[in-house]
């Protein structure tokens, strides 16, 4: 599935081993793979977009290397079928969890790098990201809060106000509910696993609502 044969298969084994398992797990490889991925994507964007500004490059990279995207690629590569998880994670469906898939994908990159060097690893990364690299543009990457703010500023309207309405759950599993209000309009509410995510989602909903009206 990876399009690569390991000469040290124990590296691949380690990359597929979650820390909930006994023995050598993939956290160190993930650290290495994450750095390699960031670098390869940074260079690809630098070359593909000679006129993009630094902020645009940064936003495009963040969008390409975020957990959701990596978990998508991990799913395309059927990584879930080969993950080794501890019994607790196994029961709770950990092999489908986004963060576990994304981490394993990064660990595999680290493993390929150690097994074969940068050029091979880079070739695999660019292959797996090729359609996403072709589709991405400097403009679309602005987050919803930025887009909402720019939309309002362009119409000389007051900036939105975000407010945490409530939080639930224990520290490691909290849900934040946030409202987004703009002048003369009912607030929208959104929830998420962090304040930032909930705010982004609220901004997204507000944008959709405003744009529907126009």
CB of 209 to its own copies, least distance (A): 28
Q: Is 30 annotated as a binding residue?
A: yes
**Rounded-to-integer distance, Cα 162 and Cα 140, Å:** 23
| Residue 34 is a catalytic residue | yes
Is the CA virtual torsion 131, 133, 137, 142 positive or negative? positive
Q: Is 115 annotated as a binding residue?
A: no
Closest C-alpha to 63, from 43, 45, 36: 45
| Residue 106 is a catalytic residue | yes
Beta-bridge partner residues of 176: 167, 192
Closest C-alpha to 75, from 92, 96, 103: 96
Out of 106, 115, 199, 201, the active site residue is: 106
Beta-bridge partner residues of 177: 166, 191
Out of 5, 27, 34, 199, the active site residue is: 34
* Interface residue list for its own copies (CB under 8 A): 27-28, 30-32, 34-36, 38-39, 42-43, 46, 52-54, 57-58, 118
Which residue lies nearer to its own copies by CB, 27 or 183? 27
Which residue lies nearer to its own copies by CB, 78 or 139? 139
What residues are designated binding site?
30, 103, 106
Catalytic residues: 34, 106
């Amino acid at each position: 599935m990876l399009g690569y044969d390991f000469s040290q298969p124990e590296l691949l084994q380690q990359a597929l081993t979650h820390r909930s398992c006994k023995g050598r797990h993939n956290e160190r490889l993930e650290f290495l793979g994450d750095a390699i991925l960031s670098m390869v994507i940074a260079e690809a964007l630098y070359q593909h977009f000679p006129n993009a500004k630094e902020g645009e490059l940064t936003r495009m990279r963040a969008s390409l290397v975020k957990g959701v995207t990596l978990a998508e690629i991990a799913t395309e590569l059927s990584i879930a079928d080969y993950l080794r998880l501890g019994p607790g994670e196994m029961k709770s469906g950990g092999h489908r969890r986004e963060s576990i898939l994304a981490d394993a994908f990064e660990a595999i990159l680290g493993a390929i790098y150690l097994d074969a060097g940068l050029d091979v690893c880079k070739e695999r990364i660019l292959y797996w990201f090729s359609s996403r690299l072709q589709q991405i543009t400097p403009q679309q990457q602005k987050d919803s809060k930025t887009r909402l703010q720019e939309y309002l500023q362009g119409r000389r309207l007051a900036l939105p106000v975000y407010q945490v309405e409530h939080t639930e759950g224990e520290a490691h599993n909290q849900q934040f509910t946030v409202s987004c209000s703009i002048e003369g309009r009912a607030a929208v509410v959104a929830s998420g696993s962090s304040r930032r995510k909930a705010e982004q989602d609220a901004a997204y909903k507000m944008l959709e609502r405003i744009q529907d009206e126009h």
